[in-house]
């Protein structure tokens, strides 16, 4: 049986990934969310015809709720075989001088602490069974020089990349593959607080004259979580649309 723990499953990427889960596979899936939207509920109901699925609500800004999520997953299926990590805090451009440390800490807690605690709990168990796949969505801000006015976001994403690579090195050769994908701007609700003209300008300035599509990121995640990646560890797939090489 494949046992998926999807953290941030209510995101557009998380829902798109779940909608792609094939019929006929023996799958038990725990879908983490902070809030349950109507769209998320619809995706979950549809998925129940193809997999055993359970929803776990937790605010990852809270260490206690994060630990409760991990305890819930452990009680329901022991250890996952596949971990998909997607969460991120809301985004807004801000000059460094106006950024409070609390905002940086919140980003670190939601993205980095949550993944660290999940890995600390489950990677040793994956190693004992000699099988595990972990895929993490990071960001193209980790490729080359980072953009301006994204201090809290960049700090969290760089820390996330460091955690992915540290885990990949420690568990390489133990049947556990830890990898990441770093997309450029993906047109999702994550950017809802950003002027639409900036989003369009980003597309025009890219080599491919477009922003990244959700389904392109999902395809990369499906690959990283597949058995085709047994010789890949610590990779950070570049989905910047050719803008960063």
**Which residues contact residue 168 at a Cβ distance below 8 angstroms, ignoring those fewer than 6 apart?**
177, 178, 179, 233, 234
Asked if residue 88 lies in contact with residue 110, where contact means CB atoms within 8 angstroms, the answer is yes
Give the model confidence (pLDDT) of 139-188 as tens digits. Answer: 999 998 888 998 999 999 999 999 999 999 999 999 999 999 999 777 77
Mean pLDDT of successive 10-residue stretches along the chain, which has 245 residues = 97 95 88 96 93 97 98 97 95 90 97 98 98 96 89 96 98 97 82 69 69 91 96 94 77
Classify the C-alpha dihedral 212-216-218-224 as positive or negative.
Answer: negative
Side-chain-facing half-sphere of 83: CA atoms under 13 Å = 29
CA 190, CA 198: separation in Å to the nearest integer? 14
Instruction: Give the pLDDT score at 242.
Output: 81
CA 212, CA 187: separation in Å to the nearest integer? 7
Instruction: Give the pLDDT score at 226.
Output: 97
pTM across the whole model: 0.94
- The domains found in the chain, sorted by start residue, are 2-239 (3.40.50.720)
Asked if residue 116 lies in contact with residue 167, where contact means CB atoms within 8 angstroms, the answer is no
Instruction: Give the pLDDT score at 207.
Output: 75
Residue 139: name the closest of 176, 173, 112 by CA. Answer: 112
CA 236, CA 143: separation in Å to the nearest integer? 9
- Helix H or strand E segment including 68: helix 63-77
Instruction: Give the pLDDT score at 159.
Output: 98
């Amino acid at each position: 049986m494949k046992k998926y723990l999807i953290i941030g499953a209510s995101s557009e990427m998380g829902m798109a990934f779940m909608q792609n889960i094939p019929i006929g596979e023996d799958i038990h899936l725990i879908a983490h969310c902070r809030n349950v939207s109507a769209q998320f509920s619809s995706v979950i109901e549809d998925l129940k015809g193809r997999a055993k699925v359970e929803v776990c609500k937790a605010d990852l800004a809270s260490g206690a709720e994060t630990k409760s999520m991990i305890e819930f997953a452990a009680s329901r299926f022991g250890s996952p075989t596949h971990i998909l990590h997607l969460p991120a805090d809301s985004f807004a451009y801000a000059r460094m001088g106006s950024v409070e440390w609390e905002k940086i800490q919140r980003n670190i807690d939601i993205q980095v602490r949550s993944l660290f605690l999940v890995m600390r709990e489950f990677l040793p168990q994956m190693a004992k069974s000699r099988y595990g796949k972990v895929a993490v969505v990071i960001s193209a801000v980790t490729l080359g020089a980072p953009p301006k006015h994204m201090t809290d976001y960049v700090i969290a994403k760089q820390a996330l990349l460091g955690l992915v690579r540290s885990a990949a090195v420690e568990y390489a050769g133990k049947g556990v593959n830890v990898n990441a994908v770093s997309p450029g701007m993906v047109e999702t609700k994550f950017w809802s607080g950003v002027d639409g003209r900036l989003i369009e300008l980003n597309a025009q300035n890219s080599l491919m004259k477009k922003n990244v599509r959700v389904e392109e990121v999902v395809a990369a995640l499906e690959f990283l979580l597949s058995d085709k990646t047994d010789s890949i560890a610590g990779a950070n797939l570049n989905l910047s649309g050719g803008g960063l090489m």
